[in-house]
Structure 1
């Protein structure tokens, strides 16, 4: 099994942190841009795409600021990999951006970044921040 490397991407987005937080922290919000469907039972979230299903545990959240999901292994144990979405607001300019922290295999970093670009583009479209 290949070791994954951590990477970070930042996307400027025109939206208030409180609105953005709804889209990154709730099953209904996430299912509008991140996955085809998202269900949650307590802190366990199930992300459903056309041909796959992944489970993750809500590892951390801070209202209006960030949410972190830790992927779960087949045996329901926590994997070492997670993805985190952070909302950053510049104190002076009030510019808002979303920071994505994720993992990918080294030879798939470009592909992973492109996937996030597409996902964030969908998010901007959903919230009207085009």
Structure 2
């Protein structure tokens, strides 16, 4: 069964450079995204409540975006990406998260989880 792609866009009052530091480095990801984060080369280990998930770093563009592919989802096109967007006119900064849910019923819950995580990020960086 195909996964359902979704996006969440959340405004963050912080510089793209600061946000990028918090979405790309294991130690900073550990402050807001997962209980524990380690990286060996392109493989990142994310731990939540004792459960480890492995993801491969697919794209890393400085001050722009980072994209991971869960190793357990090798057989599909799913990924999760955190992209920094700056409005050309207002200079407002947003974090756009693209992710996949197992089915349509899981999309709202997954969006809420991301919104909660990004709120934690905002709290961590004082945005």
Please classify the TM superposition score into its range, dividing by the shorter chain length: over 0.9
In structure 2, the residue matched to 1:45 is 44
C-alpha deviation, 1:50, in angstroms: 0.4
Computed over aligned residues only, the root mean square deviation of the Cα atoms, in angstroms, reads 1.4
Tell me, in whole angstroms, the C-alpha distance in 2 between the residues paired with 1:66 and 1:108. 25
Alignment of 1:64 onto 2:63: yes
**Helix, strand or coil for the counterpart of 1:28?**
helix
Which of 85, 93, 97 matches 1:96? Answer: 93
In structure 1, the residue matched to 2:22 is 23
Say how many residue pairs are matched: 126
- The structure-2 alpha-carbon separation of the partners of 1:54 and 1:10, relative to structure 1 and needing over 3 Å to count, comes to same
Tell me, in whole angstroms, the C-alpha distance in 2 between the residues paired with 1:80 and 1:25. 21
Tell me, in whole angstroms, the C-alpha distance in 2 between the residues paired with 1:73 and 1:4. 13
- Output the TM-score relative to the length of structure 1: 0.92
- The structure-2 alpha-carbon separation of the partners of 1:34 and 1:96, relative to structure 1 and needing over 3 Å to count, comes to same
Cα deviation 1:34-68 (Å, max 9, x = unaligned): 10010000010000000411100000011000000
Unaligned runs of 5+ in 1: none
In structure 1, the residue matched to 2:12 is 13
**Helix, strand or coil for the counterpart of 1:14?**
coil
